[in-house]
């Protein structure tokens, strides 16, 4: 029942297409019967012949023969050659071997009258016949000749069509990379000129390449695009090709029921239009898909029909392919006599095809010779336009000279503009350096004077006559604290200055986060101990990060030191981590210290100096957190702060993880 509905749909579709096509043909008949000019009448009849080739090859042959007779009567050489071309197309569709001879005669005439476009079209038709017969070397030779002709006359449609045909040869030779490059070059030109028919053909061919590479999803995408255009144009010969190709992909995917439906639909269309080659390919496809399902009787029935067509059309490659299917199906169904017959047929044909392959190297040399000859012919044609070329060169040289003058004028102005910009930039840089110098002097004069004065005062009272042992121990601790604060201040000043002067080179490497945190905890342990503050390393194990090791040391040291500074005695500072995803980790430094107001948080990372005393009177110059922010940003991250007065503060930033 499903098959009956399928055939009904195909028949209705063909009827609608035939109606649309008849309107186009009717308009050509109007031109043919109303025009008085013999050449125009003849060309109209030739186009009528060509209009039938998709549906009724017999009508193509009939009208082409009539057009050939008319052209000969009026000695219209271009018409004679075109009529021969159309007649050969009809012969080819009907499997008549005279098609190649007819095209060779047309090509001779086109060369004589210098009809480059017509000649290129005929070369393509000759190449198509050789391709279908499996002679890829001769096919490629004729395609290359056609391409040279089309490029010479700058015929974009002809160039695109020929590139498509060359892509077919590369695909058949399994050179898929070259095939895709050539097809896509062809498709680009066809899209530029809005050649829908050509686009459909090339999309279909790209689908074939992906199918051959077992990229079935891509193959189906391109086949469906091609099919949509063919349906829009109502080109049912092209529709049948797309359907058959989709069926081939389904077969490779082992969707046999879907494949059979596509093959049967394609076969019905091809039988309706008497497309012998298309019928042959659909029969081969059906024979193979039935064989895969072990329905050998049906496989043999379709293969026998296909075998007869391969003999009629003289297509040895396909004949060998069908022989192999028949051998395998007969063998599987235990019909050994028939299996032996087709095995011998397959071996004979396969050996013949192998011998043909052996001659390809010699044929390639001949192809190169033919190409060189064609290039010489083009050179001779160019020589005929020698004087015109000379004039063009003179004009071109004059334009180049003018362009050079304009260019040098432009360059001179650009250099002048660039020089001015450099002077302005240098002045700005000097101004910034001067500002930096003043800031450094201000820091050194104000913020180092205080701890140095304190140190001097402590040293002055170190007299054994004045102080006892307990007081000496207390002063010693104060000296150490003042020294550490001064050392920390100097280190931050040096690092910040280096950062401002842009003299630092970043060195990224893989680091273990927990180890670096512990290193900084150990470094700051004594300072924390004096305030009885506990330092907790809560970072997860085995977290590796990608960062400048020295940068992270400075970041952690300043953040932990800052937390100690603003945490009361017996407080706690914790450094932890939070894994955000496979590539990111958040580092958190949290204390339960005195916290900050909103106003204080806003001033944290500004370059306006502000001094805040720690819980034990520790002083700082405000550079530590500025340096932290700059280093974190250098490592493509940012710092976040949350704080509540009397509750403590939390500083966090995100780093990149590595395995």
What's 347's domain CATH number? 1.25.40.10
Q: What CATH number has the domain bearing residue 561?
A: 3.30.565.10
pLDDT band at 10 (very low <50, low <70, confident <90, very high): very low
Residue 170 is assigned to a structural domain of this protein: no
Residue 23 lies inside a defined structural domain of this protein: no
- The residue with tokens 């009629």 is 312
The three-state (H, E, C) secondary structure of 262-323, written as one string: HHHHHHHHHHHCCCHHHHHHHHHHHHHHHHHCCCHHHHHHHHHHHHHHHHHHCCHHHHHHHH
Residue 207: how many other CB atoms lie within 10 Å: 28
Work out the pLDDT band at 253, boundaries 50, 70, 90. Answer: very high
Please check whether residue 532 lies inside any domain of the structure.
yes
Overall number of domains in the chain = 3
| Count of other CB atoms within 10 angstroms of residue 132 | 16
Are residues 333 and 415 part of one domain?
Answer: no
Eight-state DSSP code of residue 117: H
Mean pLDDT of 241-267: 94
Whole-number Cα distances in Å, 26 to 47, 54, 66:
11, 16, 18
pLDDT of residue 540: 94
* Interval 377-406 mean pLDDT: 71
* Cα–Cα distance, 570 to 559 (Å, whole number): 19
Exposed e or buried b per residue across 478-487, where buried means at least 16 C-beta atoms within 10 angstroms of its C-beta: eeebbebbbe
Residues 413 and 286 in one domain: no
**What is the rounded distance in angstroms from the CA atom of residue 193 to the CA atom of residue 189?**
6
Last residue of a domain, one of 352, 379, 411: 352
Q: Are residues 314 and 425 in the same domain?
A: no
Band (pLDDT 50/70/90 cuts) for residue 606 is confident
Return d(Cα 112, Cα 363) in angstroms, integer. Answer: 27
**What is the pLDDT at residue 386?**
61
Q: Three-state SS for 647? A: coil
Mean pLDDT of the 615-635 span: 78
Contact between 87 and 61 under an 8 Å Cβ cutoff? The reply is yes
Choose the final residue of a domain: 411, 432, 447. Answer: 447
In percent, the amount of the chain with pLDDT more than 70 equals 78
Q: Is residue 157 part of a domain?
A: no
**Do the Cβ atoms of 78 and 115 come closer than 8 Å?**
yes
Does 14 score more than 50 pLDDT? no
pLDDT of residue 17: 45
**Residue scoring higher pLDDT (604 or 458):** 604
337, 407: one domain = no
Q: What is the pLDDT of residue 8?
A: 44
Pick the more confident residue, 395 or 567: 567
Convert the pLDDT of each residue in 324-371 to its tens digit. 999 999 999 999 999 899 999 889 988 877 766 666 555 555 555 655
In a domain, 289, yes or no: yes
Query: For 22-32, what is the mean pLDDT?
Result: 75
pLDDT tier, 6 (very low <50, low <70, confident <90, very high otherwise): very low
Which is more confidently placed, 472 or 297?
297
Which DSSP category does 385 fall into? T
Q: With a threshold of 0.85, does the pTM exceed it?
A: no
pLDDT given at position 36: 78
Both 334 and 427 in a single domain?
no
Q: Which two tokens stand for residue 134?
A: 């499996």
Q: What is the mean pLDDT of residues 279-306?
A: 94
pLDDT tens digit sequence for 203-238: 999 999 999 999 999 999 999 999 999 999 888 889
Range scoring the smallest mean pLDDT among 68-72, 185-189, 622-626:
622-626
Question: Mind giving me the DSSP string for 550-573?
Answer: HHHHHHHHHHHHHHHHTS-TT-EE
Phi, then psi, of 165 in degrees rounded to 5: -65, -40
Query: Residues 313, 413: one domain?
Result: no
Residues 301 and 422 reside in one and the same domain: no
Contact 513, 587 (CB under 8 A): yes
What is the DSSP code (8-state) at residue 494?
H
Kindly report, residue by residue over 501-531, the tens digit of the pLDDT. Answer: 455 567 889 999 999 999 999 888 888 888 8
Mean predicted confidence (pLDDT) in 171-182: 93
Q: Which of 408, 554, 421 lies closest to 488, judged by CA?
A: 554
DSSP letter, residue 607: S
Q: Which residues contact 637 (CB under 8 A, 6 or more apart)?
A: 653, 654, 655
Residue with tokens 């995100």: 654
Residue of 511 and 619 predicted with greater confidence: 511
Q: Of 321, 352, 383, which residue sits at a domain end?
A: 352
Nearest CA to 167 among 222, 217, 119, 116? 222
3-state secondary structure of 512: strand
Asked whether residue 648 falls in the same domain as residue 530, the answer is: yes
Q: Reply yes or no on whether the pLDDT at 2 is more than 50.
A: no
Domain that holds residue 531: 507-658
Q: 518 in a domain, yes or no?
A: yes
Does pLDDT of 4 surpass 80? no
Q: Please check whether residue 41 lies inside any domain of the structure.
A: no
Fill in the DSSP letter of residue 114. T
Q: What is the mean pLDDT of the chain?
A: 82
- The model's confidence at residue 309, banded by pLDDT at 50, 70 and 90, is very high
Q: Are 95 and 313 in contact (CB under 8 A)?
A: yes
- Cβ-in-10-Å burial (0-12, 13-18, 19+) of 294 comes to exposed
- Give the span between the Cα atoms of 401 and 392, in whole angstroms: 14
Tell me if residue 511 falls in helix, strand or coil: strand
pLDDT at 411: 84
- Give the model's pLDDT for residue 433: 58
Strands 572-581, 534-538: pairing kind: parallel
Q: Tens of pLDDT along 38-91?
A: 898 898 888 888 888 767 788 889 989 899 999 999 999 999 999 898 888 888
pLDDT of residue 472: 66
pLDDT value of residue 258: 94
Residues 143-163, mean pLDDT to the nearest whole number? 94
Position 3 pLDDT exceeds 60: no
Exposure string over 157-179, b if 16+ CB within 10 A, otherwise e: ebbbbbbbbbbbbbbbeeebeeb
From the number of C-beta atoms within 10 Å of its C-beta (0-12, 13-18, 19+), residue 274 rates as middle
640 and 527 belong to one structural domain: yes
In whole angstroms, give the CA distance from residue 360 to residue 367. 10
- Residue 348 sits in the same domain as residue 406: no
- Decide if 159 is inside a domain: no
- Return all residues near 149 (Cβ < 8 A) that are at least 6 apart: 116, 117, 119, 120, 123, 158
CB atoms within 10 A of CB 231: 16
Query: What pLDDT band is residue 31 in, cutting at 50, 70 and 90?
Result: confident
Within this chain, do residues 536 and 628 fall inside the same structural domain, yes or no? yes
Of the two residues 431 and 585, the one the predictor is more confident about is: 585
pLDDT above 90: residue 609: no
Q: Are residues 294 and 409 in the same domain?
A: no
Distance, CA of 579 to CA of 362 (rounded, Å): 67
**Half-sphere CA count of 532, side-chain side, radius 13 A:** 3
Give the model's pLDDT for residue 376.
66
- pLDDT grade for 635, boundaries at 50, 70 and 90: confident
């Amino acid at each position: 029942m499903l098959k009956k509905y399928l055939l009904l749909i195909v028949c209705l579709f063909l009827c609608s297409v035939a109606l649309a096509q008849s309107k186009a043909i009717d308009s050509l008949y109007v031109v043919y019967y109303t025009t008085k000019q013999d050449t125009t009448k003849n060309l109209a009849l030739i186009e009528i012949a060509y209009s039938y080739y998709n549906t009724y090859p017999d009508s193509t042959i009939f009208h082409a023969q009539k057009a050939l007779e008319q052209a000969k009567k009026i000695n219209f050489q271009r018409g004679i050659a075109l009529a021969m071309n159309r007649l050969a197309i009809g012969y080819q569709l009907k499997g008549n071997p005279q098609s190649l001879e007819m095209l060779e005669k047309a090509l001779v005439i086109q060369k004589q009258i210098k009809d480059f476009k017509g000649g290129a079209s005929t070369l393509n038709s000759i190449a198509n016949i050789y391709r279908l017969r499996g002679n890829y070397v001769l096919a490629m030779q004729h395609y290359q000749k056609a391409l040279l002709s089309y490029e010479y006359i700058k015929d974009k449609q002809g160039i695109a069509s020929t590139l498509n045909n060359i892509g077919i040869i590369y695909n058949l030779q399994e050179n898929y990379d070259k095939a895709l490059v050539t097809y896509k070059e062809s498709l680009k030109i066809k899209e530029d000129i809005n050649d829908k028919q050509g686009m459909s053909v090339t999309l279909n061919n790209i689908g074939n390449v992906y199918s051959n590479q077992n990229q079935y999803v891509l193959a189906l995408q391109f086949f469906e695009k091609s099919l949509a255009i063919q349906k829009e144009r109502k080109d049912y010969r092209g529709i049948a090709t797309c359907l058959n190709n989709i069926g081939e992909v389904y077969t490779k995917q082992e969707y046999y029921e879907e494949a059979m439906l596509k093959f049967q639909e394609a076969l019905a269309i091809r039988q309706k239009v008497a497309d012998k080659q298309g019928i042959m390919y659909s029969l081969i496809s059906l024979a193979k898909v039935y064989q895969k399902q072990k329905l050998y009787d049906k496989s043999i029935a379709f293969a026998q029909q296909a075998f007869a067509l391969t003999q009629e059309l003289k297509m040895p490659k396909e004949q060998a392919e069908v022989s192999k299917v028949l051998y395998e199906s007969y063998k599987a169904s235990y019909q050994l006599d028939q299996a032996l017959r087709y095995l011998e047929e397959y071996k004979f044909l396969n050996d013949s095809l192998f011998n043909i392959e052996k001659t390809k190297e010699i044929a390639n040399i001949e192809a190169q010779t033919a190409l060189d000859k064609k290039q010489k012919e083009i050179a001779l044609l160019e020589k005929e336009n020698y004087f015109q070329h000379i004039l063009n060169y003179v004009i071109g040289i004059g334009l180049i000279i003018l362009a050079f003058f304009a260019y040098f004028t432009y360059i001179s102005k650009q250099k002048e503009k660039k020089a001015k910009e450099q002077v302005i930039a240098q002045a700005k840089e000097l101004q910034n350096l001067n500002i930096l110098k003043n800031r450094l002097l201000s820091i050194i004069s104000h913020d180092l004077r205080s701890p140095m004065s304190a140190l001097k005062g402590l040293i002055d009272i170190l007299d054994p006559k004045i102080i006892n042992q307990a007081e000496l121990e207390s002063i010693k601790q104060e000296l150490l604290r003042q020294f550490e604060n001064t050392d920390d201040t100097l280190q931050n000043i040096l690092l910040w200055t280096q950062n401002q002067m842009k003299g630092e080179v970043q060195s990224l490497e893989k680091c273990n986060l927990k180890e670096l945190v512990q290193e900084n905890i150990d470094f700051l342990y004594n300072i924390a101990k004096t305030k009885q503050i506990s330092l907790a390393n809560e970072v997860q194990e085995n977290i590796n990060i990608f960062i400048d090791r020295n940068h992270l040391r400075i970041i952690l040291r300043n953040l932990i030191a800052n937390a100690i500074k603003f945490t009361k005695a017996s407080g706690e500072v914790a450094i932890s981590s939070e894994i955000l995803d496979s590539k990111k980790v958040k580092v958190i430094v949290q204390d339960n210290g005195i916290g900050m107001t909103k106003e204080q948080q806003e001033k944290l990372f500004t370059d306006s100096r502000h001094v805040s005393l720690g819980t034990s009177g520790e002083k700082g110059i405000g550079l530590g957190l500025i340096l932290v922010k700059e280093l974190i940003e250098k490592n493509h991250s940012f710092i976040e702060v949350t704080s509540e007065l009397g509750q403590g503060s939390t500083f966090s930033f995100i780093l990149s993880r590595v395995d």
